Copies of this chain bind each other. A is one copy, B any other.
């Protein structure tokens, strides 16, 4: 299989595949004319890469999974290095979620405080309007 066919079947581009090869992530054999030659296994590697990318993994983080598959293991996450990446990612996600929740709480606090201040101002203004009208009537006489 040549690069164009693999790209199409994997739903990606030839440029991405060359980029992966450049990173040493997805090396390709070469046929006689210098064209990259891929097998069905490479399609599985690509699917592994894309699945992890959808989870927000960087390309370097997919490397242990790819190497695990290349080593002949049945799944990309059969190897300790892959599990370690899972663990790191979970910790990273937890940290990120915690930070965002903290920020959210602070923003919400500011928002509610500001909204309340606005309402109190509006209530104060409403209370002052009659006095203003009285003053006008007073002046009118």
Contacts and interface: CB of A to CB of B under 8 A. Distances in A.
A59 interface: no
Interface of A: 55-56, 75, 77-78, 82-83, 86-87, 89-90, 93-94, 96-97, 100-101, 103-104, 106-108, 110-111, 114-115, 117-118, 121
Given A55-B106, A77-B111, A93-B104, 17 more contacts: A75-B114, A75-B117, A77-B114, A78-B121, A83-B118, A86-B107, A86-B111, A87-B111, A89-B107, A90-B107, A90-B108, A90-B111, A93-B100, A94-B104, A97-B100, A97-B101, A100-B100
Main secondary structure of the interface of A (DSSP, over half): helix
A80 B116 CA distance: 12
